[in-house]
């Protein structure tokens, strides 16, 4: 942590090498969240730049008695939310132009892609919570700090998201219909 | 422990020790034939496996150069929207959500609207407008009774055009007032942040979008101002040479 604190002090002092190290250190987790939230590489890249720039610009507002990562991820999550809001406000294409895009894509068989597809159907805050927990490895307490909700709410959101994702995967045929046998018992993990 | 309580326990354990949770679930199913328990296991296994694959599929990115370039550009041009207070820099302190932008940036649309309104006012004052106003100094004096003259004067001969000018100018004043009111209303709307009050997250660095896109936001004001000036110019009479 002291290493991080020194790095942040260097950024605050306007040291270019410190800023470079800062971006190199945090760009991947920030991008990971943005990419999973937005589902689009270019959009995620833009929002990542924006979030990191904002963090650098407003570094003096970070409370050093609190963990840094939730603060940074809160900025990224809010940038994603703004980008999603902006995307939703855009005029929708007419029915004639999207008649082929209305139907959901065929199951690809790729579990990762199917999970991402399912994830895009859940609410923003649930998705954010899920990504922070399962991709960034943040604890429920850290997510609670980042999203400004009680820790119990984070757990509830995670359970709810898992259930919704499972339901979605089941609808897509990724999870087999329940039988009277015990298929899970023979699988090796 | 019944199945419902057990599943609740496993669900909590999944967040901290997923492998142990799956193992206890398998052990439970050795003596349980409930469909809900079996379905829970199937879902859990599917999600855990999907998450493992999904996590490895996140692409890599490198935005270091772009961010540093933008950061250096901003450092060269100080951000006028958020003046640095000497007491706050460069020490670290508690992050406090800033729901409102600085007062200076909030107030400028109103200031601009008032300035535009004041620019419009001289056009409404006939004495300074450069127009030929033979009836007096404005619509009020224009309707005052004139002193009777024994001989017909040119003013009497111009009675009909004079009435038309008064009517047209009244319409102009009305339109100008209407446009000015609309401008001020739009300015007030611009001042109000359009953030979603039901937002779940608190962004310590949040700045409303309109601050960054003032050019687009101010466009309706400019259009209405132009429209007001155009309507004034259309209805006011052309200056006549003094005789």
Note the pLDDT of residue B71: 87
CATH 1.10.1740.10 fits A1-88, yes or no: yes
Q: Quote the CA–CA distance of A30 and A72 in Å, as a whole number.
A: 8
Between chains, do A63 and B74 touch, taking CB under 8 Å as contact? no
Q: Please tell me whether residues B119 and B48 are part of one structural domain.
A: no
Question: Which of A16, A149, A162 faces B47 most closely, judged by CB atoms?
Answer: A162
For this complex, say whether ipTM is above 0.90.
no
Taking the CA atoms of residue B64, residue B70, residue B73 and residue B78 in that order, the dihedral angle to the nearest 10 degrees is: -120
| CATH architecture of the domain with range A109-177 | Orthogonal Bundle (1.10)
Q: Looking at the domain assignment, is residue B188 inside a domain?
A: yes
Same domain, B114 and B184: yes
For residue B45, give its domain range: 3-56
Q: Which of B14, B71, B200 has its CB closest to that of A53?
A: B71
Residue of chain A whose Cα is closest to the Cα of B10 = A159
Considering only CB atoms, B63 lies closest to which of A48, A57, A166, namely: A48
Considering only CB atoms, which chain B residues are within 8 Å of A19? 67-68, 71
Q: How far apart are CA B177 and CA B231, in angstroms?
A: 12
CA distance A96 to chain B (A): 30
Say what the pLDDT of residue A142 is.
93
Say if residue B229 is in the same domain as residue B114.
yes
Smallest CA-to-CA distance from B39 within B1, B5, B17, B7 is with: B7
B116 and B7 in a common domain: no
> pLDDT, tens digit, for every residue of B156-194?
444 456 667 677 777 777 787 777 777 777 766 665 554
| Residue B118, number of CB atoms within 10 A of its CB | 10
* In a domain? residue B74: no
B158 in contact with chain A, both atoms CB, cutoff 8 A: no
Residue B224 lies in a domain: yes
CA distance B53 to chain A (A): 5
What's the mean pLDDT in A10-32? 93
Instruction: For A30, name the nearest residue in chain B, comparing CA atoms only.
Output: B61
Q: Both tokens of residue A156?
A: 């509830």
Contact assessment for residue A62 and residue A20, using Cβ atoms and an 8 Å cutoff: no
Q: What percent of chain A has pLDDT over 90?
A: 57
The rounded radius of gyration (Å) of the Cα atoms in chain B is: 36
pTM of the model: 0.59
Task: Verify whether the Cβ–Cβ distance A78 to B201 is below 8 Å.
Answer: yes
Q: 3-state class of B81 per DSSP?
A: coil
CB contact under 8 A, B54 and A112: yes
Q: State pLDDT tens for residues A27-85.
A: 999 999 999 999 999 999 999 999 999 999 999 888 888 899 999 999 999 999 999 99
By the 8 A CB rule, do B228 and B176 touch?
yes
**What is the model's pLDDT at position B188?**
65
- DSSP 8-state assignment for residue B89: S
B42 closest CB neighbour out of A36, A61, A184:
A184
- Residue B19, min C-alpha distance to chain A (Å): 9
Nearest-CA residue of chain B relative to A188? Answer: B45
pLDDT tens-digit map of B111-166: 777 787 777 766 665 554 444 444 444 444 444 444 444 444 444 444 456 667 67
Is B8's pLDDT higher than 90?
no
Number of folded domains in chain B? Answer: 2
Q: In chain B, count of helices (H) and strands (E)?
A: 12, 0
Residue pair A27/B62 in contact (Cβ under 8 Å)? The answer is: yes
Q: How many CA atoms lie within 13 A of A112 on its CB side?
A: 12
Partner residue facing A52 (CB), from B19, B59, B63: B63
The rounded distance, in Å, linking the Cα atoms of B113 and B225 is 9
What is the model's pLDDT at position B119?
76
Please report whether residue B65 resides in a domain.
Answer: no
Structure-block tokens of residue A127: 């998705």
Domain boundaries, chain A: 1-88, 109-177
Sign of CA dihedral A123, A125, A128, A133: negative
Mean pLDDT of A106-113: 78
Q: Are residues B214 and B138 in the same domain?
A: yes
Give B128-168 as a DSSP string. HHT---TT-SSHHHHTSPPPP-SS--HHHHTHHHHHHHHHH
Chain B residues in contact with A125 (beta carbon < 8 A): 200-201
Mean per-residue pLDDT for A163-175? 86
- B70 touches A: beta carbon within 8 Å: yes
CA distance A79 to A77: 5
Residue B80 maps to a domain = no
User: Residues 6 or more apart from B78 whose CB is under 8 A from it?
Assistant: B84
> Do B51 and B165 belong to one domain?
no
pLDDT band, very low/low/confident/very high, at B220 (cuts 50, 70, 90): confident
Higher pLDDT, B145 or B225: B225
Mean pLDDT of the residues in chain A: 85
End-to-end CA distance of chain A: 35
Q: Tell me the Cα Rg of chain A.
A: 20
Worst-scoring range by mean pLDDT, A12-21, A154-163, B57-66, B209-218? Answer: B209-218
Q: Which residues of A touch B46 (CB under 8 A)?
A: 166, 169, 174-175
Q: What angle do CA A43, A44, A50 make, to 5 degrees?
A: 90
Q: For A45-59, A101-115, A154-168, B45-59, which range has the lowest pLDDT when averaged over its residues?
A: A101-115
**Is 70 exceeded by the pLDDT of residue B222?**
yes
pLDDT at B213: 59
pLDDT over 70 (residue B106) = no
pLDDT at B90: 36
């Amino acid at each position: 942590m002291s290493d991080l604190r020194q790095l942040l002090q260097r950024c605050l002092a306007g040291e270019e090498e410190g800023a470079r190290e800062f971006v190199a250190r945090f760009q991947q987790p920030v991008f990971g969240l943005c990419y999973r939230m937005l589902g689009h590489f270019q959009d995620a890249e833009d929002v990542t730049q924006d979030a990191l720039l904002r963090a650098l610009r407003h570094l003096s507002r970070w409370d050093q008695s609190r963990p840094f990562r939730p603060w940074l991820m809160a900025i990224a999550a809010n940038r994603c939310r703004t980008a999603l809001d902006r995307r939703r406000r855009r005029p929708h294409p007419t029915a004639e132009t999207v008649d082929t895009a209305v139907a959901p894509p065929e199951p690809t068989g790729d579990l990762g892609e199917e999970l991402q597809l399912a994830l895009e159907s859940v609410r923003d805050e649930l998705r954010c919570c899920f990504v922070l927990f399962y991709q960034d490895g943040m604890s429920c307490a850290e997510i609670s700090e980042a999203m400004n909700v009680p820790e119990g709410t984070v757990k509830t959101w995670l359970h709810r998201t898992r259930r919704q994702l499972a339901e979605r995967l089941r609808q897509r045929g990724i999870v087999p219909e329940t039988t009277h046998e015990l298929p899970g018992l023979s699988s090796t993990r | 422990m019944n199945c419902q309580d057990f599943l609740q326990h496993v669900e909590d354990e999944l967040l901290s020790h997923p492998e142990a949770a799956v193992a206890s679930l398998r052990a439970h199913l050795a003596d349980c034939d409930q469909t809900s328990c079996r379905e829970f296991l199937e879902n859990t296994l599917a999600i855990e496996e999907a998450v493992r694959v999904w996590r490895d599929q996140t692409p890599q990115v490198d935005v270091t150069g772009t961010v540093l370039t933008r950061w250096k550009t901003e450092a060269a041009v100080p951000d006028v929207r958020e003046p640095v207070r000497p007491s706050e820099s460069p020490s670290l302190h508690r992050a406090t959500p800033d729901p409102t932008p600085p007062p200076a940036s909030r107030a400028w649309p109103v200031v601009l609207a008032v300035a535009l309104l004041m620019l419009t006012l001289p056009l409404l004052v006939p004495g300074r407008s450069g127009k030929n106003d033979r009836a007096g100094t404005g619509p009020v004096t224009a309707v005052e009774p004139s002193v009777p003259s024994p001989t017909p004067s040119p003013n009497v001969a111009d009675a009909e055009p004079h009435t038309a000018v008064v009517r047209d100018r009244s319409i102009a004043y009305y339109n100008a007032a209407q446009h000015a009111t609309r401008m001020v209303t739009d300015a007030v709307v611009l001042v109000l942040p359009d953030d979603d009050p039901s937002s779940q997250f608190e962004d310590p660095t949040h700045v409303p979008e309109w601050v960054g896109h003032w050019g687009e936001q101010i466009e309706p004001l400019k259009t209405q101002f132009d429209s007001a000036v155009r309507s004034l110019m259309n209805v006011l009479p052309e200056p006549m040479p003094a005789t």
